[in-house]
């Protein structure tokens, strides 16, 4: 089956909304695409929120250097271990499951968590260790919410086809771009930060402003979860598209059909998890790290988004499974390239522009590889039961790969010391 050329079902072309004053008609396919894109944003927004805020948390844990230096790696490890365990549980719970209900439960959980995170910025900074534990506990809960959202979303799009699968992966990438933009805007608009220097004003002078920025950041996460939930509600009322699964599908059955694309996902994400460590460690010789770190995250996420959007075109969608494997292995070349950059201000042979170009290409290759693999999953399976079961199976393997990458990132931290 050529999954690249598959189109949405004809019934999706039906017009469900009309706005006479604007002469506008909205088709069911448009509602579904927007809904799955927003669900894709909401499913990865929490991860990217905690990750992109690494500089904020680094300052918050500054009185304990060990906590500050290992925040990103610890956050990724807690997140991936939790996600791996919980996705395994979800993958074994297939009979009579309401996957749409899982998606909605995940959204509600994210709303509650980030409301609590918003209030947490008022915790006095002298409770550093306690706050670190609190943050990691919320990372754990967020991972559970994301698992519920991702599995429900994947089960739906595996049935709907690659057109909507592309919507979710594009949404995932947007979830990386927007938090980075928010961080940059917050830094640029802060008059207390000198963007052209390697030092900032004293910590006590910016603590109030930093707390205000964090409040906006976490509230945005609440807003995204609400928006995704409202959109899904509108889609549900436009058409009831989901049926509970009654067929149990084992891992061996899925692996036999998906081993190449799933292996590609494992290799891709295992390597990709080195990127946050370098993004937090490489410094600019001309501008403040307060701006340069979120800029690096933004550049990587723009590359990731562009790589995923490219896969909407059959020309850029990689369908040959062995090419996917070879492509994912070849990305190891990025590790020595990153080591040539200005880590901890020790000097660089590529400069700021070269470093950002490396981040852009690293993100682009991640986006193209993951989107190509993800969009092929549904087309490689034969029954609706397999397509639904593949959602939790794929989510489990994604988190196994992220776990491997996050554990490996501790080694990268020591390379950067």
Closest CA to 114 of 252, 38, 220, 4: 220
The alpha carbon dihedral of 273, 193, 66, 71 has a sign of negative
The pLDDT value recorded for residue 245 is 45
The pLDDT value recorded for residue 372 is 93
Q: What is the CATH number of the domain that holds 38?
A: 1.20.1250.20
pLDDT beneath 70: ranges in the chain = 1-27, 52, 55, 186, 190-211, 238-248, 413-417
The pLDDT value recorded for residue 380 is 83
The pLDDT value recorded for residue 122 is 80
The pLDDT value recorded for residue 253 is 85
* Domain total of the chain: 1
Decide: 164 and 235 in contact? Cβ < 8 Å: no
- Segments forming the whole domain that contains residue 329: 3-415
Decide: 3 and 376 in contact? Cβ < 8 Å: yes
- Which residue(s) pair with 25 in the sheet? 18
The pLDDT value recorded for residue 6 is 47
The pLDDT value recorded for residue 38 is 92
The whole-angstrom separation of Cα 130 and Cα 251 is 40
Which class for 20: exposed (0-12), middle (13-18), buried (19 or more C-beta within 10 A)? exposed
Angle at 11 between CA 10 and CA 14, to 5 degrees: 110
The pLDDT value recorded for residue 9 is 43
The whole-angstrom separation of Cα 265 and Cα 291 is 31
CA 400 to chain CA centroid, nearest Å: 15
CA 109 to chain CA centroid, nearest Å: 17
The pLDDT value recorded for residue 196 is 58
């Amino acid at each position: 089956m050529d999954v690249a050329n598959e189109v949405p079902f004809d019934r999706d072309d039906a017009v469900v909304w009309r706005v006479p004053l604007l002469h506008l008609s909205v088709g069911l396919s448009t509602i579904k695409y927007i809904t799955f894109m927003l669900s894709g944003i909401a499913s990865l927004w929490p991860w990217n929120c905690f990750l992109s805020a690494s500089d904020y948390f680094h300052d918050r844990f500054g009185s304990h250097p060990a906590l500050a230096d290992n925040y990103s790696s610890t956050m990724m490890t807690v997140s991936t271990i939790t996600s791996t365990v919980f996705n395994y549980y979800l993958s074994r719970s297939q009979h009579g499951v309401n996957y749409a209900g899982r998606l909605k439960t995940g959204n509600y959980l994210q709303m509650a968590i980030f409301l609590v995170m918003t209030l947490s910025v008022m915790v006095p900074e002298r409770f550093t260790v306690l706050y670190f534990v609190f943050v990691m506990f919320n990372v754990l809960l967020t991972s559970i919410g994301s698992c519920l959202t991702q599995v429900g979303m994947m089960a739906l799009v595996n049935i709907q086809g690659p057109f909507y699968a592309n919507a979710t992966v594009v949404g995932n990438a947007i979830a990386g771009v927007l938090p980075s933009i928010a961080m940059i805007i917050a830094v640029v608009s802060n008059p207390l930060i000198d963007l052209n220097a390697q030092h900032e004003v004293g910590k006590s002078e910016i603590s109030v402003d930093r707390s205000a920025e964090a409040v906006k950041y976490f509230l945005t996460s609440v807003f995204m979860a609400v928006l995704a939930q409202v959109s899904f509600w509108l889609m549900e009322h436009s058409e009831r598209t989901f049926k509970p699964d009654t067929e149990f599908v084992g891992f061996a059955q899925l692996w036999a059909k998906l081993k190449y694309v799933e292996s590609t996902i494992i290799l891709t994400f295992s390597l990709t998890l080195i990127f946050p460590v370098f993004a937090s460690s490489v410094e600019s010789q001309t501008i403040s790290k307060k701006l340069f770190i979120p800029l690096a995250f933004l550049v990587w996420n723009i590359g990731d988004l562009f790589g995923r959007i490219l896969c909407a075109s059959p020309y850029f969608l990689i369908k040959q499974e062995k090419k996917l494997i070879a492509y994912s292995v070849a990305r190891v070349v990025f590790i020595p390239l990153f080591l040539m950059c200005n880590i901890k201000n020790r000097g660089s042979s590529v400069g700021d522009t070269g470093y950002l170009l490396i981040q852009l290409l690293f993100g682009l290759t991640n986006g193209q590889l993951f989107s190509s693999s993800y969009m092929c999953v549904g087309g490689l399976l034969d029954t609706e039961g397999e397509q639904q079961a593949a959602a939790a199976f794929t989510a489990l393997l994604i988190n196994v790969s992220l776990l491997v990458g996050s554990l490996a990132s501790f080694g990268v931290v020591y390379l950067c010391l």
